Structure 1
Amino acid sequence: MQDTVRRILTARVYDVAEETPLDGLQRLSARLDRPVLLKREDLQPVFSFKIRGAYNRIAQLTEAELARGVICASAGNHAQGVALAAARRGTTATIVMPTTTPGIKVAAVKARGGNVVLHGDEFDQAAAHARRLEAETGAVFIHPFDDPDVIAGQGTVGLEILRQHPDPIEAVFVPIGGGGLAAGMAAIIRFLRPEAKIIGVEPVDAPTMKTALDKGEVVTLNEVGLFADGVAVRRAGDLTFALCRDLLDGIVLVDTDAICAAVKDVFDDVRAVAEPAGALALAGLKSWAADHPGSGTLIAVNSGANLNFDRLRHVAERAEIGEGAEALLAVTLKEDRDDYSRFLTLLDGRSVTEFNYRWSDVGTARFFVGVALKNGPAEKDALIARLIAAGYAVEDMSDNEAAKLHVRHMVGGRAQGLAHERVLRFAFPERPGAFLRFLASLKPAWTLTLFHYRNHGDDVGRVLAGISVRPEEQPALTEALGALGYPYVDETDNPAIRLFLDGARAGS
């Protein structure tokens, strides 16, 4: 540890790196009833802390080594750091990246002059290929984490935190992939502020360091999850393992939903968008705080913001569930419109975030329902108990991965034997009671055959609804919908409806 501390105190990082702010998270602090601070490494020139270790390592190279060029393997953030550091030091950089690397990271490396080679589906395959190229070309390999100068460069994050917050700290939370950041920060924090806890955080599907610590030796996992691609490493470093084994106070594992909820927390408080690995430490902080009540200051590192924009769709979909702010339920009701209204009334004013249904002729209706919660799991359990007591069959789908990823989007399909169905696409007002008002506008003889709604944060709710109405009643339906006043488009003859939803006319 003393050698690591010496290297941290003499590290060369500020030729390219910034001293990033330590921001207070006011909203989250109020929720947890204790101070929560966020170290903003997403504000580095390459939007990640990795520039620190990469530059510190390359700054130690001799002129002869610089002339040979450098090479590295990375899922993206280390790659950008190496590319920028190499350009500043006047040497060439070859970057081997997994083929699964987000495009935004590949483009950023190329923009900084790095020669990108895409190889393998994960970091370890890319690293093996980089080692082969190292042997062939003589370039100097810049390890993303298992190198004393890289560890020291990352450790300057911890040094800054201690300088920026001289008051007592209960715990600092650090994301772990290979362990370079955790090892460096743990060394300097343990040396200068031994009373502060240092907690590592890993995804539950990539517990690389925790598995090694549990087994007492570095191990190679068969596979790791790729959602938090910045920490998707199957094997920790030997140096990082030794330091983490001796210096960490524990490791917290969190799932994808918790990471998504932490991305939302960062945005809500500081209007920044963290990548999944960047929000990992904050997710761990929240999990740890739930099990360790107190008033001490907690600090998490936002390690990066290199996020593909299209991944935000998944993050937004899962954040409310990860925060315990939404329950997903499968509910069986009578095929009776009055029972629909009774069910909605039992929700006691809670916002319906999702409501998916398709008619069947068995006399029962099965709904996939999302309900907004204010008080987390306890409120969800109470709601389910209330619905069951009222005679409804309820299955909790909130932790059902197949339901969350797939089934929610598949509720529907063709309804065989259903005649005279009109399928309409509505813009409902996004306010309580909109669905009940819609139901009240329909005559009892008109059968609601399809309903598909999901809250997307708009000022209107996008709804696809099916109504079975005999031909002679069609004018009356048109008049009723006009009186309702919700804008709609008749999609009955839309090819997508005919081919995938209309059992009566499919294939015609």
Structure 2
Amino acid sequence: MNAYRVPGDHDPLPTAAAVLRRAETARVYEVAHHTALEPAPLLSTRIGASVLLKREDQQPVFSFKLRGAYNRMAQLSVAERARGVIAASAGNHAQGVALAASRLGIHATIVMPITAPQVKVDAVRRFGGAFAEVVLAGESYSDAQAEAQRLREALGATFVHPFDDLDVIAGQATVGLEILAQHAEPLHAVFVPVGGGGLIAGVASVIKARRPDVRVIGVQARDADSMARALDAGSRVSLDEVGLFADGTAVKQVGALTFSLCQQYVDEILRVDTDAICAAIRDIYQDTRSIPEPSGALALAGLKQYVAQRGPCDGALAAVVSGANMNFDRLRFVAERAEVGEQREAVFAVTIPEQRGSFRRFCAALGQHAITEFNYRIGDAQAAHIFVGVQTARSGEREALADAFRANDFGVLDLTDDELAKLHLRHMIGGRSPLARDERLYRFDFPERPGALARFLDRMHPDWNISLFHYRNHGADYGRILVGIQVPASEHALLRQFLASLSYPYVDESDNPAYRLLLCA
């Protein structure tokens, strides 16, 4: 009996057996595919567990949602089809409804929140063609659902719920049936992303009906954890706000049917943060060369957290990669945060004396660690405040680095888990400084290899001071670095000799109008 089952309760309907019967006759394969259950060898080796990825991102709409939407709409009567359907969705259910409408010849009105990624809005219109009309309303799925219910009453259309409908749940449950058919060997657990609960309710029901020994574990974003809170409370709750990074699972309140099924058949719900999701996106890319959306990587983020906390497991671990409708402009953020999410980057604010040789001592304290980011602007005559990111490879290195800084009498503040620093402050270090007299500004291309920064500092004239430094490793062969150097006009000839000795390509930006306006003293 799982942790959410209330002792002495009678099993509410529907049961796992009822969901299984419907799933076995679901009409999903008239439009959806049997998707692959692929091993993730790189990740498996790294975390010491056999990891399998259920590739629902391979569906025609790049999401599992097509299964439930089509199965529900295929059950409509002739009269219901004539009146059309209406749906509310953050994006993936909308695409499923749109494609189903086009295949079945049913008019669909689809309400989406204004926060839905444009890639999903465009896809809905493309899949639905003349049969789909998109209405944008509200900031979350719950807002869109309220507008859809209002329109349903006005239009007399059938509402196709994204999760709280038995035919939808049965359609999604076919994901679980496929996993069991594809992996007859020992299977410890299946990890499933959770929004409103349709996918996990279906998957958990059929797995517990067929193989009750397999654990079913849901995964939610920490800032959109309505199912976890409901199961903890023993009744459905409504969140005031939900985070929108994992927009596909940003649901304020789970369904009544899905909640009932999850109470009975789900073993555990895990919560993961944004950094962990970003790291899981990268893991999936490294093993498959595909890029899931944030909600699509939720399950794998939970799987990794489970292994880290529990250790080796007696069987394979399967994670449902639920969708790949990723906005391209999110990739920059994902790449930025994946390093921290994988604990491959530690971020510090380090205070060193504003005196000659301090930078060299700082680099010596770093040892062989590669610098991933370095932001500095002179602002105090006595102390230099540096924002630095450092590449790490294993647990405990953050603490060791902090100790190394302190051993050099440097003040240190660990910002690795500081959301304000990671989101905003790292981009705001700088501005004008009255101390930056005689400053010359240069852009350099540094080879991305250990020792490049130390070589630069070692060749620098001992009487010159670095007044500005900005660098971020973006994974290219060459790093682009901006450096301010305080050099009296009488020594500009020596400066030119120094620059030539470095053998690094550079551009003199001292007369750049943006620099003169925003940074120049």
Aligned to 1:254: 272
Give matches, 1:427-446, under 5 Å.
Answer: 427-446=445-464
* Deviation for aligned residue 1:435: 1.1
1:401 maps to which residue? 419
Aligned residue in 2 for 1:375 = 394
Which residue is 1:345 aligned to? Answer: 364
Instruction: Choose from 190, 201, 207 the match for 1:183.
Output: 201
Unaligned runs of 5+ in 1: 504-508
- Per-residue deviation, 1:347: 1.5
The answer to whether the 8 Å contact 2:350/2:413 transfers is yes
Aligned equivalent of 1:84: 99
Q: Does 1:170 align with 2:188?
A: yes
Q: Distance in 2 between matches of 1:225 and 1:361?
A: 38
Give runs of aligned pairs for residues 17-166 of structure 1, distance below 5 A: 17-112=32-127, 113=129, 114-166=132-184
SS in structure 2 at match of 1:457:
coil
- Which residue identity is paired with 2:386? F
- Note the 1:83-482 alignment, pairs <5 A: 83-112=98-127, 113=129, 114-295=132-313, 296-376=315-395, 378-482=396-500
CA deviation digits over 1:40-69, x for unaligned, max 9? 000000000000000000010011111111
- On the 8 A contact 1:261/1:322 being kept in 2, the answer is yes
In the TM superposition, residue 339 of structure 1 has moved relative to its aligned partner by 2.1
Partner letter of residue 327 of structure 1? A
Q: Are 2:510 and 1:495 equivalent residues in the alignment?
A: no
**TM-aligned CA deviation for residue 337 of structure 1:** 3.9
Q: Give 1:486 shift.
A: 1.1
Amino acid at match of 1:308: N
CA contact 2:164–2:256 (8 Å) conserved in 1: yes
One-letter code aligned to 2:432? R
Q: Which runs of 4+ in 1 moved over 3 A?
A: none
Contact 1:52 1:81 survives alignment (8 Å) = yes
Deviation at 1:28, TM superposition (A): 0.9
Q: Give the SS at the match of 1:170.
A: strand
TM-score by length of 2: 0.95
Which whole-Å CA distance do the structure 2 matches of 1:228 and 1:266 have between them?
16
Rounded Cα–Cα distance in structure 2 between residues aligned with 1:267 and 1:478: 44
Q: TM-score, normalised by structure 1?
A: 0.98
CA distance in 2 between partners of 1:12 and 1:164 (Å): 20
For 1:372, the aligned partner's letter is Q
Could you report, residue by residue, the CA deviation over 1:384-422 in whole angstroms, capped at 9, with x for unpaired residues?
A: 122212322110000000100011111111111432111
Structure 2 CA distance for aligned equivalents of residues 73 and 488 of structure 1: 53
Cα distance per residue 1:420-455 (max 9 Å; x no partner): 111111111111111111112221121110000000
Deviation at 1:311, TM superposition (A): 0.3
Q: Return the offset for 1:93.
A: 1.0
Count residues in correspondence: 502
Aligned equivalent of 2:9: none
Q: For structure 1, which segment, 381-390 or 462-471, has the greater mean C-alpha deviation from structure 2 after superposition?
A: 381-390
Residue equivalent to 2:502: 484
Residue 366 of structure 2 aligns with an amino acid whose one-letter code is: L
Percent of aligned pairs with the same amino acid: 57
Contact 1:441 1:481 in 2 (8 A): no
Q: Can you give the 5+ residue segments of structure 2 that lack an aligned partner in the other structure?
A: 1-14
Moved more, 441-450 or 303-312: 441-450
Distance 2:311 2:507 in 1: 53
